């Protein structure tokens, strides 16, 4: 069996003000650094054998404390990046409602998963590359005793969980991942998988101002 510990990156300043990030490489905030350390401390009690991360800085920064506790390096995978939001990156919801009224309504209100932001990606495109990332990890860590940390993002991370659930893409709209949260996905090969922990933030309970 391969255990995958899936973590979302810690908070960034753009998370705090609800600004669209996508592929824009925003570093962790001070709170996010603290969250990453708390996540690393919790994962220090787990026998992690490999660490993978989105190649964006906020994910790599989040993965590093856990990797260091196990004497491991972080392997960056571009496929684990957040959904690319193209021209929307850097904008707030208020700005999107004002400047992209029709497209925002299609994306946010109608929940059209094929809605394409200019210079961005659709959710099916994200699903395709997340499936490739999972296959890479399972190929290189087939078990029986592999425990792999994967650090990614809120949107694409939910799609990654769908692979374990073998659920249809619209199910991602029913999932939520907090900053620095931890989930666990168990795989007996690609076809037999379980979600045994989802969006757990108990390791952040002691942090002042933690938004849980």
Instruction: List, by residue number, the catalytic residues.
Output: 9, 82
DSSP 8-state class, residue 26: P
C-alpha torsion 60→73→199→112, nearest 10: 50
Q: Which residues contact 102 (CB under 8 A, 6 or more apart)?
A: none
Residue keyed to tokens 């168990």: 186
Residue ranges in the chain assigned as alpha helix (H): 13-16, 30-43, 57-69, 93-99, 101-104, 123-140, 154-165
């Amino acid at each position: 069996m391969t255990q995958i510990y899936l973590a979302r990156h810690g908070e960034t300043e753009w998370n705090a003000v609800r600004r669209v990030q996508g592929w824009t490489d925003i570093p962790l905030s001070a709170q996010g650094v603290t969250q990453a350390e708390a996540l690393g401390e919790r994962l220090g009690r787990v026998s992690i054998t490999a660490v993978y991360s989105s190649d964006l800085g906020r994910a790599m920064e989040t993965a590093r404390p856990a990797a260091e506790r196990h004497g491991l390096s972080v392997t960056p995978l571009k496929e684990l990046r957040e959904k690319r939001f193209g021209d929307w990156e850097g904008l707030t919801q208020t700005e999107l409602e004002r400047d992209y009224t029709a497209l925002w309504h299609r994306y946010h209100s109608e929940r059209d998963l094929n809605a394409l932001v200019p210079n961005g990606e659709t959710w099916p495109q994200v699903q395709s590359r997340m499936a490739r990332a999972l296959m890479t990890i399972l190929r290189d860590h087939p078990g029986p005793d592999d425990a792999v940390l994967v650090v990614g993002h809120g949107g694409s991370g939910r799609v990654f969980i769908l692979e374990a659930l073998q659920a249809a893409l619209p199910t991602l709209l029913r999932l939520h991942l907090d900053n620095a949260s931890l989930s666990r996905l168990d795989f007996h090969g690609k076809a037999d998988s379980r979600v045994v922990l989802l969006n757990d933030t108990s390791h952040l309970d002691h942090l002042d101002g933690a938004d849980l």
